[in-house]
Chains A and B, each alone.
Chain A
Amino acid sequence: MSLNRRQFLASTTALAGAAAFPTVVLAADTIKLGSVLDTSGGFDAYGKPMDMAMRLAVDEINASGGLLGKQVEVIAYDTQSDMALYTQYGQQLVRQDKVDVVQGGILSASREAIRQTMRKSKTLYFYNALYEGGVCDRNIFIDGVTPAQQAEALVPYAMGKSGKKVYILAADYNYGQITAEWIKKYVADNGGETVGLDFFPLDVSDFGSTIAKIQSVGPDLVIAPLVGGAHLSFFRQWAAAGMKDKIALASTTLGVGNEHKVLTAAEGDGIMVAYNYSQELETPANTAFKEKWAAAYGDSSAIHELAVSHYQGVLTWAEGVRVAGSVERDAVIAALETGISIEGPAGTITIDPKTHHAILDVHIMEMENQGMKVIETLSQRQPVDTQAVCDLAANPDDNTQYEIKF
């Protein structure tokens, strides 16, 4: 057989291409769960535990007999903290792998990179991360905490422990700006006053002048929706200046990726936060979850808020499939829209039919000795921010991320 150069190239490229694809076990009949997460690169601190949580959930489902008598097969792609790869792998999941559901996305930018692809291809999509709220799309279900759920719980508690004058330091992109608006609203609702508001680009790491400025204004409380490694410097510099005992500090982001384990106990203790999950949550469900995690991965210290949201997202989808008796998208959406609930490590998760967001427990916590001690549990909080702008029951064709106006 003669082989010219062009044929050789074509065949080797095809081979290389085939080798690059994940090995798909061609079992006759499986349900395919597609996953896109950043398990390497800058966001891997978020993505790796999320990936572990997803696999844990799928293993459990399979161990208990699978869904509708079929095993669930994971087709996972590492998006390497590169937004362009979300678009590429998103297409691959729906066109080539033809998955039944896609779970994944971490940053809001990654969600928006694939949301329309999923919608057009009628592939059910679950986004399970704390985010700024407002996405209104019948094809997506969102299992993370939104700013209103957090701020509504955190602000009155933190103000009660400190005082009425609040200073806000926020990350300078849509999450920080929208969250800052919500904090301002709840400060005003609780009879307080926002005495200062500063935004910081994600690479700002020197907060010396800011800390002096805060002191010249003299607030009772500082709330900091700051994001990422550079912004972690703020908490460190705040402690180094000896501010911790002078002005109370709260955050809507610190700890989501287990950042509080990077700070020392002396730096972190006393910072107030509010999330859906804490490793220190003393419930039978969480104890069992941590044991399962430790059995699968050796130790459970990697678990964080986003991982648990993701785990609960997979369980929610599985419950939808069971109720629907089908993996077909419209049937599963209809089943989820009956307002079904699951019990996760962080408590009950109920789908809000109007917004496809989660109604969930919010725990007010204080950092203590590199952990998050649960102070108070507010059960079944509604995603009121998104509910104010989104009604998929009345308007099923909506496909917008609303910016919430005040």
Chain B
Amino acid sequence: MDFTVVVIVEVLYAVASLVLISAGLAVVFGMMKVINLAHGEFMMLGGYATITAVNLGVNIFIAMLIVAPLIVGLIGLVVERLVIRHLYGRLVDTMLATWGLSLLFIGAATMIFGNTTTGISAPISGFAVGDYQINGYNFFIIIVSIVLILGMLFVLKATRLGLIARGTMQRSDMAAALGYSPDRIYMATFFAGSALSGLAGAVLAPLVGLVPTSGGAFIAKAFITVIAGGPSLIAGLLSSAGIFGVIGQVFSFSVSAVMGDVAMLIAAVILLRLLPQGVTARFFKGKL
């Protein structure tokens, strides 16, 4: 019984962390069709921003939830103005440019923070479920992901801003004809996507040893989740994170952590063979 609870918590945690690491990419890639290969590095920067802020005496929750997303969002803004905005609609060129950016960020982080492992410890202590100890921080990640999804849903569905953003992504010429500047909306969307990546990196920072190359560990999972999710932003994110999280954890528990990752990749290959446009191209059609 206790073990079942532990497994359920771990599965929820796996799904939540997939949602978290993919959300920023889902906005940038899913909405704007910009393949941001520097997504992992945005996360890494979020982690470093958190650690630096905490070392400067900022409360860890403020550092994770406010400071890091803001800083990474602003970095994203600069990147968008200098690089990305010249490349909208040029898929391959954005790949090349953002790959270069990822190298630049790794180099910059190495210069500033050194190529050594840093980290902070988790602010929430573990607790017991029957005979088992659970990492209390897992719940924090689950809650952050739920709030994140609800927040995205709210902004996109219930606010005028979200409506304009969605409209611009669908037909930027029409949005422009109605008097909205697509240029500024793209800029704001990229800012939001970068901030989400920064948030993910920040929230995951206490669980890992951070090095400048840490971003590489997340990028594959993030891309798989977003691509398998398909055209709908939130429904796609949730469905593919759900599928991969459950499969990954089931194999992690029954075989080993390595097999969990292997199973996840195999599941992604099979899924994309059966549903090449992603889950939401077939199911939940037209949902957000």
Whether B116 and A45, one on each chain, are in contact in the complex, defined by CB atoms closer than 8 angstroms, is yes
Q: Contacts A213-B253, A240-B137; is A232 near B119 (CB within 8 Å)?
A: yes
Which of B85-93, B95-103, B121-129 interfaces with chain A? B121-129
Q: How far is the CB of A364 from chain B (nearest CB, A)?
A: 25
Q: Is there a chain A Cβ closer than 8 Å to B213's Cβ?
A: yes
Q: Is there a chain B Cβ closer than 8 Å to A172's Cβ?
A: yes
Q: Contacts A229-B209, A240-B206; is A208 near B10 (CB within 8 Å)?
A: yes
Interfacial residues of chain A within 260-318, with CB under 8 A of chain B in the complex:
262-264, 266-267
Whether B258 and A40, one on each chain, are in contact in the complex, defined by CB atoms closer than 8 angstroms, is no
Whether A233 and B133, one on each chain, are in contact in the complex, defined by CB atoms closer than 8 angstroms, is no
User: Which residues of the other chain, B, contact A201 by a CB distance below 8 angstroms?
Assistant: 258
Q: Which of A200, A205, A212, A242 has the most CB of B within 10 A?
A: A212
Q: Is there a chain B Cβ closer than 8 Å to A243's Cβ?
A: yes
Q: Is there a chain B Cβ closer than 8 Å to A403's Cβ?
A: no
Q: How far is the CB of A152 from chain B (nearest CB, A)?
A: 28
User: Which residues of the other chain, B, contact A216 by a CB distance below 8 angstroms?
Assistant: 3, 6, 132
Whether A229 and B13, one on each chain, are in contact in the complex, defined by CB atoms closer than 8 angstroms, is no
Whether B135 and A233, one on each chain, are in contact in the complex, defined by CB atoms closer than 8 angstroms, is no
User: Which residues of the other chain, B, contact A199 by a CB distance below 8 angstroms?
Assistant: 256, 258
Q: Which of A207, A210, A233 has the most CB of B within 10 A?
A: A233
User: Which residues of the other chain, B, contact A44 by a CB distance below 8 angstroms?
Assistant: 114-116
User: Which residues of the other chain, A, contact B131 by a CB distance below 8 angstroms?
Assistant: 215
CA distance A246 to B252 in the complex (A): 23
Q: Is there a chain B Cβ closer than 8 Å to A14's Cβ?
A: no
User: Which residues of the other chain, B, contact A232 by a CB distance below 8 angstroms?
Assistant: 117, 119, 208-209
Whether B207 and A237, one on each chain, are in contact in the complex, defined by CB atoms closer than 8 angstroms, is yes
Q: Is there a chain B Cβ closer than 8 Å to A206's Cβ?
A: yes
CA distance A210 to B116 in the complex (A): 25
Q: Is there a chain B Cβ closer than 8 Å to A230's Cβ?
A: yes
Whether A246 and B208, one on each chain, are in contact in the complex, defined by CB atoms closer than 8 angstroms, is no
The listed residue (A200, A209, A229) touching B253 by CB distance below 8 A is: A209
Whether B117 and A262, one on each chain, are in contact in the complex, defined by CB atoms closer than 8 angstroms, is yes
Q: How far is the CB of A18 from chain B (nearest CB, A)?
A: 28
The listed residue (B3, B134, B206) touching A236 by CB distance below 8 A is: B206
User: Which residues of the other chain, B, contact A241 by a CB distance below 8 angstroms?
Assistant: 126, 133-136
Whether A208 and B117, one on each chain, are in contact in the complex, defined by CB atoms closer than 8 angstroms, is no
Interfacial residues of chain B within 126-160, with CB under 8 A of chain A in the complex:
126-128, 131-138
Q: Is there a chain B Cβ closer than 8 Å to A325's Cβ?
A: no
Interface string of A209-236 (1 = CB under 8 A from B): 1111101100000000000111111001
Q: Contacts A230-B217, A233-B208, A242-B125; is A209 near B260 (CB within 8 Å)?
A: yes
Q: Is there a chain B Cβ closer than 8 Å to A189's Cβ?
A: no
User: Which residues of the other chain, A, contact B10 by a CB distance below 8 angstroms?
Assistant: 208-209, 212
User: Which residues of the other chain, B, contact A215 by a CB distance below 8 angstroms?
Assistant: 6, 131-133
CA distance A344 to B213 in the complex (A): 36
CA distance A208 to B134 in the complex (A): 9
Whether B260 and A242, one on each chain, are in contact in the complex, defined by CB atoms closer than 8 angstroms, is no
Interface string of B205-229 (1 = CB under 8 A from A): 0111111011011000000000000
CA distance A240 to B206 in the complex (A): 9
Q: How far is the CB of B78 from chain A (nearest CB, A)?
A: 28
User: Which residues of the other chain, A, contact B14 by a CB distance below 8 angstroms?
Assistant: 208
Whether A229 and B117, one on each chain, are in contact in the complex, defined by CB atoms closer than 8 angstroms, is yes
Whether B257 and A210, one on each chain, are in contact in the complex, defined by CB atoms closer than 8 angstroms, is yes
CA distance A208 to B8 in the complex (A): 12
Whether B126 and A240, one on each chain, are in contact in the complex, defined by CB atoms closer than 8 angstroms, is yes
Interface string of A33-74 (1 = CB under 8 A from B): 000000011101100000000000000000000000000000
Q: Is there a chain A Cβ closer than 8 Å to B249's Cβ?
A: yes
Q: Contacts A172-B258, A229-B117; is A243 near B208 (CB within 8 Å)?
A: no
Whether B257 and A198, one on each chain, are in contact in the complex, defined by CB atoms closer than 8 angstroms, is yes
Q: Is there a chain B Cβ closer than 8 Å to A85's Cβ?
A: no
CA distance A87 to B129 in the complex (A): 54
Interfacial residues of chain A within 166-221, with CB under 8 A of chain B in the complex:
172, 198-201, 203-213, 215-216
CA distance A353 to B10 in the complex (A): 53
Q: How far is the CB of A260 from chain B (nearest CB, A)?
A: 11
Interfacial residues of chain B within 157-205, with CB under 8 A of chain A in the complex:
none
The listed residue (B117, B120, B211, B257) touching A209 by CB distance below 8 A is: B257
CA distance A228 to B133 in the complex (A): 25
Q: How far is the CB of A234 from chain B (nearest CB, A)?
A: 9
Q: How far is the CB of A15 from chain B (nearest CB, A)?
A: 28
Q: Report the nearest B residue to A46, measured CB to CB.
A: B116
Whether B3 and A237, one on each chain, are in contact in the complex, defined by CB atoms closer than 8 angstroms, is no
Q: Is there a chain A Cβ closer than 8 Å to B118's Cβ?
A: yes
Q: Contacts A44-B115, A200-B258, A240-B121; is A208 near B138 (CB within 8 Å)?
A: yes
User: Which residues of the other chain, B, contact A205 by a CB distance below 8 angstroms?
Assistant: 207-209, 217
Q: Is there a chain A Cβ closer than 8 Å to B62's Cβ?
A: no
Interfacial residues of chain A within 236-251, with CB under 8 A of chain B in the complex:
236-237, 239-243, 246
CA distance A210 to B256 in the complex (A): 8
Q: Which of B114, B134, B135, B261 has the most CB of A within 10 A?
A: B135
Closest 9 CB pairs of A and B: A242-B126, A232-B209, A209-B252, A229-B117, A240-B122, A241-B135, A241-B126, A229-B209, A229-B211
17 more CB-based (< 8 A) A-B contacts, given A243-B126, A264-B121:
A42-B115, A42-B213, A204-B257, A205-B207, A206-B17, A207-B257, A208-B14, A212-B134, A213-B253, A216-B3, A216-B6, A232-B208, A237-B122, A240-B136, A241-B126, A242-B125, A262-B116
Q: List 17 A-B contacts (CB under 8 A).
A: A200-B258, A206-B17, A206-B207, A209-B249, A210-B257, A211-B135, A215-B131, A232-B119, A240-B121, A240-B125, A241-B136, A242-B125, A242-B136, A262-B117, A262-B209, A263-B121, A264-B121
Chain B residues within 8 Å of A, Cβ to Cβ: 3, 6-7, 10, 13-14, 17, 114-122, 124-128, 131-138, 206-211, 213-214, 216-217, 249, 252-253, 256-258, 260-261
Chain A residues within 8 Å of B, Cβ to Cβ: 40-42, 44-45, 172, 198-201, 203-213, 215-216, 228-233, 236-237, 239-243, 246, 259, 262-264, 266-267
